[in-house]
Amino acid sequence: MTTLGGGCFWCLEAVFDEMTGVVSVESGYMGGHVERPTYAEVCGARTGHAEVIQVTFDPAKVAFRDILAVFFTIHDPTTKDRQGNDVGPQYRSVVFHHDDAQKREAEAFIAELAEKKVFPAPIVTEVSPASTFWIAEEYHQEYFAQHGHEPYCQYVVAPKVAKFRKVFADWRKAGS
């Protein structure tokens, strides 16, 4: 399992739902100081939480490094507290590691990207220990699958899904 924040959780969930080896994806909140935060509280930047996805994956089918490769391809890890028009600490780029091995691998992956100058600006992605995961309200789960026709989904989520499908075509689940 891993927990990732990179802007709106709808975008991340839609992509990782299609990835081979991913068993489940849940949208939620992590990294804050309020118990049982609501979407309104998190969006108001009053709780310290990031919008995240919790990804359960089968390590026999997909490596944590591959999860990181997709994550760093579909969002901008160089903008602090921002992804496109979504602004605030709840949209920060963060890898919440669940053990020391994930921490080391995430830090090494970020260092590799920086050394190769993959991005035109410094990577600001946090690598932090996982804390309590608070699942988001039901209407956020599988949002893109249920509301893909809505303007936000068409202009923000769909391009990230399309990028995943193009760059990682071999990593797509059959039928997705």
Q: For 27-85, what is each residue's pLDDT tens digit?
A: 999 999 999 999 999 999 989 999 999 999 999 999 999 999 999 999 999 999 999 88
Predicted pLDDT at 36: 97
CB 117 within 8 A of CB 75: no
Question: C-alpha 117: how far from its chain's center?
Answer: 21
Is residue 153 part of the annotated active site? The answer reads: no
Residue 175 banded pLDDT, cuts 50, 70, 90: confident
What predicted TM-score, i.e. pTM, was given to this entire model? Answer: 0.95
In whole angstroms, give the CA distance from residue 33 to residue 14: 27
Question: In this structure, are residues 27 and 13 in contact, taking their beta carbons and an 8 Å threshold?
Answer: yes
User: What is the pLDDT at residue 115?
Assistant: 97
Q: C-alpha angle with apex 103: 2 to 34, nearest 5 degrees?
A: 60
DSSP state of 150: S
Per-residue model confidence (pLDDT) at position 84: 86
Place of tokens 């080391």: 104
User: Which two tokens mark 64?
Assistant: 């944590």
H or E element in which residue 167 lies: helix 158-167
Marked catalytic residue, from 8, 11, 43, 153: 8
Residue 110: pLDDT over 90: yes
CATH of 2-171, one of 3.40.228.10, 2.30.30.60, 3.30.1060.10, 3.30.420.40: 3.30.1060.10
Per-residue pLDDT at 93 exceeds 80: yes
Residue 68: predicted pLDDT: 98
Say how far apart CA 18 and CA 24 lie, in whole Å: 10
Query: 37 is written with which tokens?
Result: 């935060």
